[in-house]
Amino acid sequence: MKRFIISLALMLMTGAIVSAQSYYNEQWLAKQKIFTNMEEALGSSDNCVVLDLSNRSLSSVPSQISQLKSLKAIYLQGNSITELPAELFQLTELRYIFADQNAIGKIPAEISNLKKLKRISLANNRLSDISPLFNCPALESISISNNLIASVPASISNLKNLKELDLSFNKITAFPTAVTEIKTLESLMLASNTIATIPTSVANFKALKVLYLDNCKIRDMTQICNITTLTRLSLSGCGITIISPKISQLSNLQRLILSHNNISTFPDNLTKITSLIFLDLSNNKLSKMPNSVSLLTNLFDFNLCNNLFEQFPELLQNLPALKAVGLSGNKTQMMPPMLTYERDVY
């Protein structure tokens, strides 16, 4: 329980919890009546703003949906829907579409009719082409993880208001360079693709705060260190052997995950990022720690599990903000008594 409380506090500190209401994450949505069946919605069509048809074993979206002219948000996740019907794109007030966990294989060109669409989530479907979305100018958030996407067309740069893009767990082989032209982009999720190199153009990001590239093939993180706006960076399971000396350029970084790599050296430059709150270097090949680690005065949670330490670094005792430290799976059994005092050791 103690570990859970510490982790929850850390997520709140770093902004990892985006919303307390998951899908219903807009204040105005929380105040709206949520209609949960078509009969009820059609009976009050002028007042139906939010319609939730999730987890209903639907194979298609009811054609009567076109009668709900005031609809702004629709929830269709957890069904067996194979296509988004033309009737849906007649609803020009629509701002939110959530249709995760279906069997949708195509995004119709008619989606461009939805000029007010702000957020669409189509994770866990069968999509290979998402280019029709790039004609929806108001889009701020796109989540298309766990689909069949192999590449991202350059036309994505048309989305001048895009803030969040999640294309994790797809078949993307090259970093989508065009996204670096989106000056509003704050969060980019590309984990579990086969991306191997990072283009120099990532330095063009003006607002990017969150970058996840876990389980890709990124061996060299040098170019990433030029995205100086980052506050969260995750490169777990990428096969990295060396932490770039330029890591210190990420002076705004609060959360860094480099677990499950082949890192054997803890560089002094890493300790220059004094803004760090969470640092995960677990499952690497570390055996020593520099004296400069004492500079990480804001570090709250430090995961060093499953490394090669034969003696636990006593320097950790001097970190004033440290409340949780992962040390299991190393070669020594003894821990300094002061390290466990008022700290969660896992």
Contacts of 12 (CB under 8 A, 6+ apart): none
Look at residue 9 in the predicted model and tell me its pLDDT.
45
On whether the CB atoms of residues 265 and 247 are closer than 8 A, the answer is: no
Q: What is the rounded CA–CA span in Å between residue 227 and residue 246?
A: 11
Q: What is the CATH number of domain 1-25+196-346?
A: 3.80.10.10
Q: How confident is the prediction for the chain on average, in pLDDT?
A: 91
Q: How far is CA 167 from the centre of its chain?
A: 9
Tokens 């970190």 sit at which residue? 319
Look at residue 4 in the predicted model and tell me its pLDDT.
39
String of DSSP letters for 250-296: -TT--EEE--SS------GGGGG-TT-SEEE--SS------GGGGG-
Q: Could you tell me if residue 55 is left (phi over 0), alpha (psi between -120 and 50 degrees) or otherwise beta?
A: left
User: For residue range 41-90, what is the model confidence (pLDDT) as tens digits?
Assistant: 999 999 999 999 999 999 999 999 999 999 999 999 999 999 999 999 99
On whether the CB atoms of residues 179 and 202 are closer than 8 A, the answer is: no
CATH superfamily, region 32-152? Ribonuclease Inhibitor (3.80.10.10)
User: For residue range 93-121, what is the model confidence (pLDDT) as tens digits?
Assistant: 999 999 999 999 999 999 999 999 999 99
Over residues 282-305, mean pLDDT:
95
Contacts of 28 (CB under 8 A, 6+ apart): none
On whether the CB atoms of residues 214 and 194 are closer than 8 A, the answer is: no
- Report the candidate in 310, 277, 304, 189 with the shortest Cα–Cα distance to residue 11: 277
On whether the CB atoms of residues 171 and 195 are closer than 8 A, the answer is: no
Look at residue 227 in the predicted model and tell me its pLDDT.
98
- Report the candidate in 206, 201, 213 with the shortest Cα–Cα distance to residue 186: 206
Look at residue 311 in the predicted model and tell me its pLDDT.
82
- 42: helix, strand or coil: helix
Is the pLDDT at 170 greater than 70? The verdict is yes
Query: CATH 3.80.10.10 occupies which residues in the chain?
Result: 1-25+196-346, 32-152
